[in-house]
Amino acid sequence: MPFELPTPEVPEEVISLGTLIVDLVGVFAGSVLGALLAERRKMDLMGFLVLGLVSGVGGGILRDTLLQAGPPLALVKPGYLAAALAGALAAFIFELQHGPGVRLLATLDALTLGAFAVAGTQRTLEVGLSPGTALLMGAITAAGGGVIRDVLARQTPQLMKAVPGYNATAALAASAVCLALSMMGHPRLALLAGMVLGGGLRLLSLRYGWRLPVKRARSAKPPEAGPRDGAP
Amino acid sequence: MPFELPTPEVPEEVISLGTLIVDLVGVFAGSVLGALLAERRKMDLMGFLVLGLVSGVGGGILRDTLLQAGPPLALVKPGYLAAALAGALAAFIFELQHGPGVRLLATLDALTLGAFAVAGTQRTLEVGLSPGTALLMGAITAAGGGVIRDVLARQTPQLMKAVPGYNATAALAASAVCLALSMMGHPRLALLAGMVLGGGLRLLSLRYGWRLPVKRARSAKPPEAGPRDGAP
Amino acid sequence: MPFELPTPEVPEEVISLGTLIVDLVGVFAGSVLGALLAERRKMDLMGFLVLGLVSGVGGGILRDTLLQAGPPLALVKPGYLAAALAGALAAFIFELQHGPGVRLLATLDALTLGAFAVAGTQRTLEVGLSPGTALLMGAITAAGGGVIRDVLARQTPQLMKAVPGYNATAALAASAVCLALSMMGHPRLALLAGMVLGGGLRLLSLRYGWRLPVKRARSAKPPEAGPRDGAP
């Protein structure tokens, strides 16, 4: 073992509880933000509930459905569905579309992105799949719910658009560092580093407008009239 | 046991057969109605088949995929795929878009909604998951196929829109009563009450234009220019 | 056995390797073509990756998620994710939108359609499900990824539109012949015949503009003003 980290002895239960709290905060924040999309679309109460639930727990459920190692954790462990439901109802009852409340929730949503990615990565390794799959599952856990939300609300998935803010990218970075440290035998540091890196990267990318590259057009000819397929 | 119900002794096989018939009628009706959306969209035969199949059996398949207790019943038990296929072909061959036929099918579709919700609830309890999850699965069984249908046909899922007619709401009510009576030790009454409540609520809500609440705007300022659609 | 086929003795490993190569070529070609849709939509790098992955391996993953006989092969067997990733990156780096490269890829994509259908059919039979389900799973393996791609890119799934070119149809034909020959005790011939029929039918249908029937309007009255729900 090349170096020894001065990690304080934190009991396992404290870590489990801490992870659960971070998870539930992330589910709640994601659910509120998803349900606010239902508000902008003038949907009814059921629209709030559906967009809240898929935004809050959709990514984890998609991961567990793909991994096929038992029913989705969000359907088994208490708290997840309740947190998502609470978020959707809060968005329906309170006036959150503008103001400091939604800014706080967006910050919490960003900060918890790394925790979701780490959870997906570690779950995939536990199930025995490869590091490459674990990376993908980290990204799906953190960003998959937003994709389902966008599909149901009929907008292009945010994470595929050339807009500022890393999303799946921050999740992939969190998964990668978590994976590296896990394989080096530091599971707790992996957890912490992934959470900090993912959350930090997401927050900074939103703050400073970082974005992924777009393909550089090489030819000088004018663009086509529009997308050929799928034009209505 | 606080009260004893005067249920006549109905053999188990009769109940199974009755449930199966109701299920298949619901699958067939849902499939025809889904395929009629393909007709309005001027899709080809494959569009009829796809929208018919997902409308007829999509909800149950989504439930079983989430529960992970074996392959979806609709893919295992004979009759389901055949009923959905028959519905799609009937919509392709016959002129059903208007007239009394489609009205009958819409009534059958509404009446069988409770049966789907009850099936989803009971299956979730059998698998050992919590009552909260069973409620959700009841709604997904009854209304999930319509959501997939709407996504594939590129329209906002009906059950999220502020339009008259309970859908997931009726399914949740059916699941709730089924759940309560099951937990009180009356599985057969649970089955019957859920079917009647769900089907009745759906039918009455369509008849009288009941709808879920929409969020009341509290501010007097003019609305935004419109849904931004995925901007930022 | 009514007739004896003069099949040369090909070792099992050669067949496995050949099938794998055909599969990976199909995944790569499908991924490039999917990612080119991200280019037309002016998505960022993540859009290329997502559309490439779902186009390349989405159909097989959907099949395995439905079959529930273990995690999706594309997430377990090495090579699949890598081939899809390589395709998406190739589309991002190189100028492939027009020119002979994309035509070659489209040909390879068409030619491998039968292999995907056969793989889905055989996997379903291995798992012990019925021939009808095996047909459906063949079509889902070959054409399901394209449907997910189209949903994410917000266009009507190509295979439901009244446009030239068989897609799910060619897959169903490949599955049917594979099924028939498998059940007659000729698994290797089933493999080969399905691949040739599916690939050939897809290629010929594109070349000669074959299309599925559209429902013939019977009444002479003018069409409705437009689809009522979800009008774009």
- Stated as kind and residue range, the H or E segment containing C185 is none
Amino acid in the structure at residue C29: A
Cα A197 to Cα A111: distance, rounded to the nearest angstrom: 9
Name the residue facing C158 among A227, A229, A231 (closest C-beta).
Answer: A229
Neighbours of A21 (CB within 10 A): 12
CA distances from C123 to B34, B102, C25, C191, C199 (A): 29, 38, 19, 12, 19
pLDDT tens for A100-132 read 999 999 999 999 999 999 999 999 999 999 999
Name the residue facing B44 among C67, C127, C160 (closest C-beta).
Answer: C160
Percent of chain A with pLDDT over 90: 83
Taking CB atoms and an 8 Å limit, are B65 and C68 in contact across chains? Answer: yes
Count of alpha carbons within 13 Å of C200, Cβ hemisphere only?
A: 8
pLDDT tens for B9-43 read 778 889 889 999 999 999 999 999 999 999 999 99
- Nearest-by-CA chain B residue for C140: B50
Segment B59-74 shows an average pLDDT of 97
Taking CB atoms and an 8 Å limit, are C44 and A227 in contact across chains? Answer: no
- Nearest-by-CA chain C residue for A161: C43
Percent of chain A with pLDDT over 70: 90
Percent of chain C with pLDDT over 70: 90
Reported confidence tier of residue A8, pLDDT bands at 50, 70, 90: low
Taking CB atoms and an 8 Å limit, are A215 and C81 in contact across chains? Answer: no
Average of per-residue pLDDT values in chain B: 91
Amino acid in the structure at residue C55: S
Reported confidence tier of residue B107, pLDDT bands at 50, 70, 90: very high
pLDDT at C221 over 60: no
pLDDT tens for B152-198 read 999 999 999 999 999 999 999 999 999 999 999 999 999 999 999 99
Taking CB atoms and an 8 Å limit, are B168 and A46 in contact across chains? Answer: yes
Reported confidence tier of residue B212, pLDDT bands at 50, 70, 90: very high
Residue with tokens 């395929």: B35
pLDDT at B50 over 80: yes
Structure confidence at residue A217 (pLDDT): 72
Torsion angle of the four alpha carbons B210, B213, B219, B221, in this order, in degrees rounded to the nearest 10 = -50
Residue with tokens 């090489």: A218
Structure confidence at residue B218 (pLDDT): 62
Token pair belonging to B30:
């849902």
Segment C94-104 shows an average pLDDT of 90
Cα A91 to Cα A83: distance, rounded to the nearest angstrom: 12
pLDDT at A88 over 50: yes
pLDDT at B217 over 90: no
Sign of CA dihedral A146, A147, A152, A158: positive
CA distances from C6 to B57, C2, C18, C180 (A): 43, 13, 20, 18
pLDDT tens for A30-60 read 999 999 999 999 999 999 999 999 999 999 9
Segment B89-105 shows an average pLDDT of 92
Percent of chain C with pLDDT over 90: 82
Structure confidence at residue A6 (pLDDT): 55
Structure confidence at residue C11 (pLDDT): 85
Percent of chain B with pLDDT over 90: 83
Segment C141-147 shows an average pLDDT of 98
Average of per-residue pLDDT values in chain C: 91
Reported confidence tier of residue C103, pLDDT bands at 50, 70, 90: very high
Peptide bond into A6 cis (omega under 30): no
Which residues 51-80 of A have a C-beta within 8 angstroms of B? 51, 53, 61, 64-65, 68, 70-72, 75-76, 78
Segment A83-92 shows an average pLDDT of 98
Interface check for A130 against chain C (CB to CB < 8 A): the answer is yes
pLDDT tens for C30-66 read 999 999 999 999 999 999 999 999 999 999 999 999 9
pLDDT tens for A154-207 read 999 999 999 999 999 999 999 999 999 999 999 999 999 999 999 999 999 999
Structure confidence at residue B7 (pLDDT): 56
Segment C84-110 shows an average pLDDT of 94
Reported confidence tier of residue B6, pLDDT bands at 50, 70, 90: low
